[in-house]
Amino acid sequence: MIQPDRTSSRTPEPESVHLTPWDLRRITVDYVQKGVVLPKPPGHPAHAVDHLAASFSRAIGRFYPLAGRFAADSDRPGRLTISLRCGDEGAGFVHAVAPGVTVADITGPLDVIPRLVWSFFPLTGMLGTDAAVDASRPLLAAQVTELADGVFVAMSLNHGAAYGTTWFLDGCAVPIPLPFAKVEDIARRFQYPPVHECALRFSSESVKKLKAKANAEMAATATATISSLQAVLALVWRAVCRARGLAPGQETTCALPVGCRTRLKGMPNRYVGNAVAGAVGKATVGEVLGDNRLGWAAWLLNRAVASVDEASVRRELASWPENPTFKYVAECVGDPASAAVVVTGSPRFDVYGNNFGWGRPVGVRSGAGNKLDGMVTVYEGGSGGAGMELEVCVAPHVLARLVADEELLDAQ
């Protein structure tokens, strides 16, 4: 366990951070797991590990709530609250060695991402609620794995954790009482079905062409511009539908996150907790896969995102404490012929800016947390510009058809 560097000025007494509806709703999912592949550092690898451990200590000294612990309290039977108590208990830190794995084994466009990547992440299998049940469990952990010719730096973060400044609608009870006798009653364990995942890479030029194609197809009817991300996701949605061999009349959905920081007035700039709503595009497979329907599918996603406005977000936040609902992974999975695509991440996140002193990352990967059939994780492109990189999870028998999809191959 790494202790936070306490050189920064702050109150010596432990403080509590109350969780918002956005935070509490996501406390039931797996820890968020993201990692970067770095080039081999100069000098002895042990020096780089010590450097990263010291840097981690300084970081959680500044963002000290992430070195705290969840605490569950009850003021009467059948009701509890969950808060983050900033007691400087520390964050997890693991040093591992994988001398038989090279950077090339796990980076770049890959038809199949090796499953061993998941072993580079700490706290795999933990739900956010686990940290509220057992106060010894950290909210944040890092793992540094030495590769044959590089270093993998991974982070696992409790999805319900918030840092410092929180924000609630006027009139919201703080902390928010939950109608449960104990935290264990909130959680639902889920047996993940087997998935394989591939890595797709779209250059800036490819993304620009896709965006232009989608907007050209909808030029006669669209009243707004289809974004680059919406065009890329429409392409992947279509390819996944084809690879799954879905019937034309079957309903299919594509769910994507919508950031709310610019949609809500009054939210402090310092608020860095969860601030995400969901948007869902829904149609039949035949509608999504029709000829010249890339633009139509992208426009469906565009309209779903546009429907998430300030009024709808405020209504959701205001009603949540009276009727709390939680994110459960099992609800994202349909029957064995699942027709859902679920998107996470964003090309706006500066993942390739994580330079620890000896060079930018050469790759980005995610762990096993929340990996479902149809999960698509989006990153910025490693070459800068408008490029994007995607990790796509599908059922094992679907993957070979997906990576051979002609429209998908032509667009990369």
As a whole number, mean pLDDT of residues 170-197 equals 93
370 in Cβ contact with 30 (< 8 Å): yes
Beta bridge partners of 258: 277
* pLDDT, mean over the chain: 93
Q: Is the pLDDT of residue 341 over 70?
A: yes
- Provide the residue ranges of all domains of the chain, joining segments of one domain with +: 15-185, 196-411
Confidence grade of residue 335 (pLDDT, cut at 50, 70, 90)? low
Strands 276-284 and 251-259, how do they pair? antiparallel
CATH topology of domain 196-411: Chloramphenicol Acetyltransferase (3.30.559)
Q: Is 15-185's fold the same as 196-411's?
A: yes
Closest CA to 270 of 279, 278, 261: 261
Query: Of all residues in the chain, what percent carry a pLDDT higher than 70?
Result: 96
Confidence (pLDDT) at 159: 94
Closest CA to 25 of 162, 117, 125, 215: 162
**pLDDT tens string 276-291:** 999 999 999 999 999 9
Closest CA to 233 of 343, 394, 324: 343
Confidence (pLDDT) at 336: 44
Q: Name 127's Cβ contacts closer than 8 Å, sequence gap at least 6.
A: 27, 28, 29, 30, 31, 187, 189
Half-sphere exposure of 296 (CA within 13 A, CB side): 13
**What amino acid is encoded at 203 in this protein?**
S
CATH topology of domain 15-185: Chloramphenicol Acetyltransferase (3.30.559)
Q: In whole angstroms, how large is the CA radius of gyration of the chain?
A: 22
